[in-house]
Amino acid sequence: MPLRAILFDHDGTLVDSEPEHFRMWVSVLAPHGVRLSEEQYVTHYAGVPNRASAVDLVSRFELAVDAATLTEAKNAAAREFLSRGAYPLMPGALEAVDEFRRAGLVLAVVTGASANGVRTTLRANDLERHFATVVSGDDVRASKPAPDCYLLALERLGLSAADCLALEDTQHGLQAARGAGIRCLALPTALSKRHDFGGAEAVVEGMSEAVKYVRTLLGHG
């Protein structure tokens, strides 16, 4: 199948933000008497948009607060963090963007996160010019693991699912890409390595391995 575009997830794939998201949730939940463990975060919330996480947290821990209030508290924590700087890029991310662009591939970011976080990442690393479009959780009614964000990306890019390869670090992201019919390369992190990546095109260790995989698809390996 031809390869014309690479669709990057943001958190955990393009940027190393999941540890910070875990710390934010710990801080947000502490006033409600919840001590969220890393195991709980990994199992239930890594790669899950804030709103969906909040709904589950309220139900799971029987909190006396509504999901909307919890979501806004987490969003506020993220805004405060981003006012001080961007999340760090994942190792090899800049090199991957450069190589994919030199290969003539179209690049996009497709994320369940807010547009603010993505804009901050691209602006801080002078990457805005390299990405044809950004689809965030703000752009769709149903975020990952629903396929809506990927379907919107295909529409904006004017490409078919067969033209694209998604890069994702979580099971929820993989489900979203596959739900849109898009091949997906899984790049597990320390926080998502126990996720189920069945259905992935392949599972690789980090961005440098993803670059090697893409080279083989392009016949450059």
Classify residue 114 by its DSSP letter. -
Structure tokens at 84: 């001080």
| Range list of β-strands (E), 92-203 | 106-110, 133-135, 164-168, 183-186, 202-203
Residue 212: Cβ within 10 Å count? 12
163 is catalytic: no
9 is catalytic: yes
- Set 9, 148, 163, 169: catalytic member: 9
Q: Report residue 74 CA to chain centroid gap.
A: 17
Cβ-count burial of 54 within 10 angstroms (0-12 exposed, 13-18 middle, 19+ buried)?
buried
Active site residues: 9, 11
